[in-house]
Amino acid sequence: MITLSPEPESSAAAAREISMNRITVAVLLLLLFAASSFAKKEKSANGENLLLQLEADFAADVAKHGHDAFLTYFAEDGVEIVDGGGIDDKEAMRKQPSWPEGTTLTWTPVHAEMASSGDLGYTYGNYVYTAKNKEGKLVVTYGKYTSIWKKQKDGQWKVVVDMGNSSPDPKTGK
């Protein structure tokens, strides 16, 4: 009876090739998993970083588009507590005229904090508002602000309360 057996050299080579293929597949899967995890972390800020990013986006849009952009960041039930005035709901804010040419509002958050529930947070910081007075001269107003952010049912974050108060020029104290 004749028994056929593979040559020892070709068996060893085949075993090495199978091992290398398995290692290659394992390494590729590991790299794919690591890349997708990293991408998810890069795309989705959370906690205080999310709130700071929301404020940065909010400020950038307002710098480009003024009053109209300001409204888009408010929840339908959001309110603005007016410095030295009343409380404007979103409907009252919609009725406000567009900002005159030359009007700017910029702000920088100093602090952000997220509730442990992950659906409510706040930021506060400093703002600079520039607008023309009755004589047509640009006047700069400095102040502090607080924004309260709430995650909406559709997953978007919107401002539910915005308030600010004017303060002296930080450089001159006047």
pLDDT tens digits, one per residue of 53-100: 999 999 999 999 999 999 999 999 999 999 888 999 999 999 998 888
- Would strands 138-151 and 120-132 be described as parallel, antiparallel, or unpaired? antiparallel
In this structure, what token pair is assigned to residue 69? Answer: 């952009």
Highest-confidence segment of 20-24, 159-163, 166-170: 159-163
What's this model's pTM, rounded to 2 decimal places?
0.72
CB 80 within 8 A of CB 98: no
